[in-house]
């Protein structure tokens, strides 16, 4: 009798162990599934409203494909391209990053008259203490003879950008200085000064806690240091994943424009987006491939 009871107890314990093992495996697989890195995203766009259940048909035929993005295993966007009229790769952008995932180089290619892709521009990004301090711009020659512009950046002790200066060394000889006056952690006034030293534009910007713009007003005709008027404004609201839900914009003398977005998600990444502006619709699909 005691042997039988002991045997039952062992079976019961084994069932619990097997169940818990299976439960832990399921949790592990779920975590892996949720944290899988994106490898590639294909973008498809259409005028009008297209039902989300047409995704497989669209992905199979490649109808509406306009952009492809490639990511590395760390989640960095390393390559993207559009297409020409014959669906050859065009407007290619390649990116390189350092060990801190800072962008250090951007190289672009363009296809001219159905020829092979040609290098067009190169940007090199320089960091100090993990902050971007300089951008060097080159033409397609990609050497010192192609150097044509420089951006420099200065920050305050809170690591907020307070000054940016752009100088071009080509025939246009453009110079622009941008000064950032931070009002608090999430809002600033940006003054743009041209090469003649004239205050050409003033921007009023407010950010959310994730650094995304929720309000942006622009004054294109600043009359004085205290001129806080504006001719253009933009407002954005976002969903929990950081994708824009509503975009409002207004230009002086015109009515307000409103764009609304609806999404369908897989693993916190949208694969379907419907845009609506006064019942004028456009639809986007994304085919997402994971590592």
On whether residue 177 sits in a domain, the answer given is: no
Query: 285 near 271, Cβ under 8 Å?
Result: yes
In a domain, 28, yes or no: yes
CB 178 within 8 A of CB 164: yes
**What DSSP character marks residue 37?**
P
Measured CA angle at 164 (ends 158, 166), to 5 deg: 165
Residue 11 resides in a domain: yes
The answer as to whether 3 is a domain residue is yes
Measured CA to CA, the distance from residue 134 to residue 165 in angstroms comes to 9
Residue 73 contacts by C-beta under 8 Å, 6 or more apart in sequence? 37, 291
Is the dihedral angle over the CA atoms 137, 141, 142, 145 positive or is it negative?
negative
> Could you tell me if residue 8 is inside a domain?
yes
Determine the pLDDT at residue 9: 47
| Structure confidence at residue 104 (pLDDT) | 96
Q: Round to whole Å and give the CA distance between 175 and 198.
A: 11
Distance CA 205, CA 182 (A): 10
Location of structure tokens 């090199």? 124
Q: Taking the CB of residue 38, how many other CB atoms lie within 10 A of it?
A: 19
DSSP state of 144: G
The SS3 assignment for 141 reads coil
pLDDT of residue 267: 84
Quote the pLDDT of residue 111.
92
Residue 9 is assigned to a structural domain of this protein: yes
- φ, ψ dihedrals at 188, nearest 5°: -155, 160
Q: In this structure, is residue 126 part of a structural domain?
A: no
pLDDT tens-digit profile, the chain (291 residues): 455 555 554 555 455 445 555 555 445 445 545 568 999 999 999 999 999 999 999 999 999 999 999 999 999 999 999 999 899 999 999 999 999 999 999 999 999 887 889 999 999 999 999 999 999 999 977 677 789 999 999 999 999 999 999 999 988 789 999 999 999 999 999 999 999 999 999 999 999 999 999 999 999 999 888 899 999 999 999 999 999 999 999 998 899 999 999 999 998 999 999 999 999 999 999 999 999
Check residue 140 and report its DSSP letter: T
Structural domain count, the chain: 1
Is residue 264 in some structural domain? no
Q: How many CA atoms lie within 13 A of 242 on its CB side?
A: 9
Residue 39 and residue 267: Cα distance in Å, rounded?
A: 14
- Residue 64, sorted as left (phi over 0), alpha (psi -120 to 50) or beta, turns out to be left
Which tens digits make up the pLDDT trace of 185-242? 999 999 999 999 999 999 999 999 999 999 999 999 998 888 999 999 999 999 999 9
Domain interval for residue 30: 1-35
CA–CA distance, 193 with 129 (Å, rounded to integer): 28
């Amino acid at each position: 009798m005691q042997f039988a009871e002991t045997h039952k107890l062992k079976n019961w314990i084994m069932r619990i162990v097997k169940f818990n093992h299976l439960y832990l495996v399921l949790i592990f697989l779920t975590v892996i599934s949720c944290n899988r890195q994106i490898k590639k995203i294909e973008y498809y766009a259409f005028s009008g409203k297209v039902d989300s259940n047409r995704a497989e048909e669209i992905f199979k035929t490649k109808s509406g494909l306009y952009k492809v993005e490639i990511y590395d295993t760390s989640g960095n966007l390393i390559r993207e391209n559009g297409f020409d009229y014959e669906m050859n790769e065009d407007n290619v952008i390649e990116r390189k990053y350092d060990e801190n995932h800072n962008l250090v180089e951007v190289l672009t290619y363009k296809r001219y008259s159905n020829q092979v892709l040609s290098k067009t521009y190169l940007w090199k990004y320089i960091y100090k203490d993990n902050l971007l301090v300089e951008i060097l711009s080159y033409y397609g020659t990609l050497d010192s003879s192609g150097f044509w512009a420089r951006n420099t950046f200065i920050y305050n002790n809170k690591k907020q950008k307070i000054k940016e200066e752009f100088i071009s060394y080509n025939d246009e000889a453009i110079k622009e200085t941008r000064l950032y006056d931070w009002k608090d952690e999430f809002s600033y006034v940006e003054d743009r000064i041209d090469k003649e030293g004239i205050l050409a534009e003033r921007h009023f910007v407010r950010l959310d806690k994730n650094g995304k713009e929720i309000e942006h007003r622009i004054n294109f005709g600043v009359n004085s240091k205290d001129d806080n008027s504006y001719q253009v404004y933009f407002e954005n609201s976002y969903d929990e994943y950081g994708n824009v839900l509503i975009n409002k914009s207004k230009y002086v003398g015109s009515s307000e424009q409103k764009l609304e977005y609806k999404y369908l998600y897989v693993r916190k990444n949208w694969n379907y987006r419907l845009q609506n502006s006064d019942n004028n619709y456009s639809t986007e699909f994304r085919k997402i491939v994971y590592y």
